[in-house]
Structure 1
Amino acid sequence: MDSLISESVYYARHFRLPGFNEKIQQKLRSARVLIVGMGGLGCPVALYLAGAGIGMITLCDADEVSATNLHRQVLFDTSCIGQKKIAIAAARLQAINPYIHIETICQYVNAQLLVDLMPRFDVVIDCTDNFDAKYAINDAAGTFGVPLVYGSIFQFEGQVSVFHHPTEKYPKGLSYRDLHSEAPPPALAQNCGDAGVIGVLPGVIGTLQANEAIKVITGLGETLSGFLLTFDALSTTTRRLALAKRDHAKVMQEMSDDIVYSELLNRMKSALPPVLIDVRELDERQALSIGGEHIPLAALPQHVMDLPRNRDIIVYCKSGMRSAKAVLYLRSVMSGVRILHLKGGIDACNGGDFTCKI
């Protein structure tokens, strides 16, 4: 390290900010932050928090660098392939800021590990790409009252929020389960490896997560607690959606929200009819159909970006089983859109007039 570099020089541009003084920097210096996942989101989160001067950063991941990571995971290069992500990340972060401490945990998270870890930290940042980890992180953070900075990416869209952090309306904040009360069916839950992702997206979302963590720690500005920020890379647009606490006693009723055939007919005649989607297989549709778009259940992840966000969506199948799964999946990736399914499917339509498609 150049002997001419001091902490006051390192953070000089912070101190030029209105209201940002040594007391604020000390809050960052004293903070302990857990970053779970060192992939596309974890890399920019760790880079900017290291630069900001977070005193203790703990990286938790057991993955190794692969060639397919390199277009978006900016801490790594081709020489890193096959090596542990956290080892490379720790060395590079320490080189970026010698005034902080980096700790590594070479494990994939599970409920017990999180229970052991969570009390040590002031903030936890979810940079994972699977639902099991997200729910485990959320539940542990909620148990110990640790603010959780959430991030998620899917193809061209990303989401950011802050959970378990007080708001005026909710003194204990909201939970990830208030956004998504349960995970979609495993067969439909895709990560970047399955669905693909534009390389810049995790950079945008991860940087926003780092910004939220800084605000939580310092008290500067207004956090996204109580809100969900969505970002669409194709249109370069954002939406800030207000969240509300779910009545968890009614979750199962909500998740089975359905619509009967007669109500569907009326809805389709309205000024702004819902989008109707048939999730059956092609041979079933050819034998009997009430119309709508045809997207088989297994193909939904490839078509979700094409679905409108400004209309309700109603899904149907033969008996209602597949459409209920489709609803769970669509709700997990289309926040703010009302999604229903046809109760009992076509089988429950009691001989309705299918000669005139909806």
Structure 2
Amino acid sequence: MSDTDALRAWLTLLHTPGLGLSSLRERLAADGDAVAVLAHLRRSPAGLGEAAGAWLTCPDEARLTRDMTWLATPGHRLLCCTDADFPPLLGHIPQPPVALFIAGDASLLLHPQVAIVGARGATAGGLAHARRFAMALAQAGFVITSGMADGVDGAAHAAALAVDAPTIAVVGTGPDRVYPHKHQALAQAIAARGAVVSEFPPGTAPRADHFPRRNRLIAGLSLGTLVIEAGLKSGSLITARLAGEQGREVFALPGSVDNPLARGCHRLIREGVRLVEEPAELIETLVPAARALGLELAARLAKLPVSAAPPCGTPAPDTPSMPPARPEHHRLRQAMGHDPATLDELASRTGLAPAALSSMLLMLELEGQVESLPGNRYHCVA
């Protein structure tokens, strides 16, 4: 089976009418891979309906070719739930995605993330707070994740980029579409120095029902969600609710009682969400969760061959209490040498998979032995 066959099978399944996320995950767990699932469904499409049967028998070649062409571009990837470097945090959320279209550095999805969300029509003060928190959190080693919307989202992304830190935009369109259109330059910068992530295939236009689905991914990828200015009917409150339901930390920044955009944050605080005033409060709260994530990744990857992955739908393991294997850490530190090196360079020097390297680098960074630099580079500091 070639990589092209596997990719084509995935795309065919993702476009199949009526094939929901849960059903596809169940079939992947039963059959093992996308090619086997596609063959099974073509033999027995019962229950999916006529549209699904027609698509499976004769898929739209133009649509598949469009997707394949987009994925053939350097820096573009379909990250599948059967891949070893699929972010394990997404396995803990309701209706986890089966695949993500990514423009940029997919390994960043394994890094500890903080979501910063808020009003599209934020005040000047709200935008200033978004920039202040995003810069401080990015400089502390957290990846800033948001939805690339106008207002707080855009300010948070831009602030991370301003301090030469990566940022992740989860969008409610195809990965090739920019919404709002004014963020064309921002989207290009995020893809070049971070990652644009979408559950929707190339060409997908913005639709109202796409954004709650996007919000669950923003919350699911992040260790914590910070809400900065939100009206009582804001989509940011949906993200905060989803984060709380997923067992993640939720933070809210209080504001003036005269500001209507502070009411959503105040309601969250009344409901028990953590009130914060300074970035240091988030950092102190989330560092233990970041360490736990690094340990989980290390344990998960240590049990796998470099190219293997658990069956899609396999629950993520409990957070382990044992540290990752030190010999591989020593090997990595030796490979780093004295000059900063990129993840790709370290992968070439060590022969380790990028997913395993990301986990090790995260642990070494949290232990103060490695420092991350602009341009996704790393060097030893101890």
Q: Tell me, yes or no, whether TM beats 0.5.
A: no
TM-score by length of 1: 0.27
Greater length-normalized contact order (CA 8 Å, ≥ 6 residues apart): 2
Rg larger in 1 or in 2?
1
- TM normalised by structure 2 equals 0.26
